């Protein structure tokens, strides 16, 4: 990517943080802050969620998202949706509907439509960058170099975790999956406990990486379990998952985590990971690689 693209990516992350912070500063809930933050990222072409999402092996978009309330442990998720503009809104609607935790495919799209959410034609999500990434991965599959593909070519996810003024935690995750994925494949992002988890007094977690491994390791919940049952700190638990457990499978992995007191961490074992946070004092930081960009107090 060009430096201009990197700069715009960081600005979109900052925009997302501002959206979430505005809700928290006004006394809103962690759940609303998470949703608002992810909405900005879903509408940006720089991230693999919503507009600009990955394409399946058949050139389709199948989007996944989930959201969880750490206070009540209520959760909602959708998988394989193709027409709802913002999958995180659909996940929230499923949660509030109370009849299911996870809806899939056409049924999830119909549910979103009936809930009055914005719907689009599937090609709305397509960007030239994802078309080129799909073509590249198909070429790599033919010449046997798929393992050498960059993390950016393969996959990506957006997520948010938040703690509000009342100490309530929430987490959400949204993704297009990985480029050239099998049609019908579902990763960890819409699976509560694998890609997303929140519990008041413990932590909120959103994950990114090869979803199959996160599902098998129940990665997001494992962070909470290590803290609750193993007595580990947030840093110990998340670092163990990213740098030991998940790395042992030979995959790129990362997560954003927030503790009961609002302490943010974003461990990753790759060259970089889009990330950002606002501290309890209102100071904002964004980053794509190791260098941190401190943007000062949020306006």
Cα(126)–Cα(45) distance, integer angstroms: 9
Strands 102-104 and 75-81: parallel
For residue 96, how many other CB atoms are within 10 A of its CB? 13
Cα(223)–Cα(228) distance, integer angstroms: 9
Identify whether 270 is a catalytic site residue. Answer: no
Sign of CA dihedral 207, 102, 97, 112: positive
Q: Is the distance from CB of 103 to CB of 111 less than 8 angstroms?
A: yes
The catalytically annotated residue of 157, 208, 285, 288 is 157
Q: Which residues are tagged catalytic? A: 157
């Amino acid at each position: 990517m060009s430096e201009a693209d990197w700069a715009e990516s960081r600005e979109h992350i900052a925009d997302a943080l501002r959206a979430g912070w505005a809700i928290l500063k006004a006394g809103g809930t962690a759940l609303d802050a998470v949703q608002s933050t992810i909405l900005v990222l879903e509408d940006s072409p720089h991230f693999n969620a919503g507009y600009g999402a990955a394409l399946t092996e058949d050139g389709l978009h199948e989007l996944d998202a989930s959201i969880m309330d750490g206070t009540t442990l209520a959760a909602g998720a959708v998988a394989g949706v193709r027409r709802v503009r913002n999958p995180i809104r659909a996940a929230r609607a499923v949660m509030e509907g109370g009849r299911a935790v996870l809806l899939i495919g056409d049924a999830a799209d119909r549910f979103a439509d009936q809930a009055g959410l914005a719907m689009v034609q599937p090609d709305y999500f397509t960007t030239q960058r994802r078309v080129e990434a799909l073509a590249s991965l198909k070429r790599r599959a033919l010449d046997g170099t798929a393992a050498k593909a960059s993390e950016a070519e393969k996959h990506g996810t957006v997520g948010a975790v938040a703690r509000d003024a009342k100490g309530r935690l929430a987490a959400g995750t949204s993704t297009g999956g990985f480029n050239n994925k099998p049609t019908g494949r579902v990763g960890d992002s819409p699976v509560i406990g694998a890609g997303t988890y929140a519990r008041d007094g413990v932590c909120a977690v959103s994950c990114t990486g090869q979803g199959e491994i996160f599902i098998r390791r129940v990665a997001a919940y494992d962070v909470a379990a290590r803290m609750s049952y193993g007595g580990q700190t947030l840093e110990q638990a998340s670092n163990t998952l990213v740098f030991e457990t998940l790395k042992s499978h030979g995959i790129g992995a990362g997560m954003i985590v927030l503790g009961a007191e609002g302490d943010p961490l974003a461990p990753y074992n790759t060259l970089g990971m889009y990330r950002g946070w606002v501290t309890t004092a209102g100071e904002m930081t964004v980053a794509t690689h190791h260098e941190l960009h401190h943007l000062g107090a949020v306006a």
